[in-house]
Amino acid sequence: MERRDFFTNSALLTAFAGFSPNTFGQPTNGNLSETIKPVLLPALPPLDHKGSSDIRVWIRTSMTNGLFSSVECAVAPKTMGPAPHWHKELDELMFVLEGTASVLVGEEVVQVEAGGWHLRPRMIKHTFFNASDKPLRFVDMYFNQPFEEFLEKIYHQLTPENGFPRGSAALSRERDVLNEKFGLFYPSTAGQERAAIVKKYGLK
């Protein structure tokens, strides 16, 4: 799927969110065309995973009157994602652009190949990883909260270069604040579950 086709589909999903109070997003009062303005985002080169993983925000929640946002994600070969977790309010929709995403849902791992979609409603334990020898790139779409802000903090602000080394108390405190703010929860066994996935699939 070309990028322009993806954004067309994204726009349709956004509109659907606004008119469907029992699915994604929050209902709006009045005409959506009066509250959401058109946005043109020029094409950019594919996101580089930088040897691990990275994100790039495309659609911000502020552009859609709080309905929807989308983030491009790039993951290096044989790379683990976050520890298994769930969201209190956030619904996620993944579209794989390149490679194959392995997604843990509950206790089952499913494979989402390029061109495939995966919906993860709130309150379901999940994570993702790249178990293949090829790069993975996908777009995650978020409904109900500005989760792009959480990811920007994690990937681009709370970094060792900014005084937050991995495993540090400072990083742990900041992440606890973010988890509370965005309703993100980890089971007590999250660390062990993540380690088991890393070992089983030979990930880093």
Domains of the chain: 3-201 (2.60.120.10)
Give the whole-angstrom CA distance, residue 23 versus residue 79.
Answer: 32
Q: Pick out the chain residues at pLDDT < 70.
A: 1-34
Residue 3's pLDDT is 46
Give the whole-angstrom CA distance, residue 135 versus residue 47.
Answer: 11
Residue 49's pLDDT is 97
Residue 19's pLDDT is 37
Give the whole-angstrom CA distance, residue 153 versus residue 175.
Answer: 9
Residue 2's pLDDT is 52
Q: pLDDT tens for residues 137-184?
A: 999 999 989 999 999 999 999 999 999 999 999 999 999 999 999 999
Q: CA-based angle 9:98:62, to the nearest 5? A: 45
Rg (CA), the chain: 17
Specify whether the CB–CB gap between 202 and 78 falls below 8 A: yes
| Residues 6+ positions from 192 with CB-CB distance below 8 Å | none
Residue 8's pLDDT is 43
Q: Which phi and psi (to 5°) does residue 107 adopt? A: -115, 5
Residue 23's pLDDT is 44
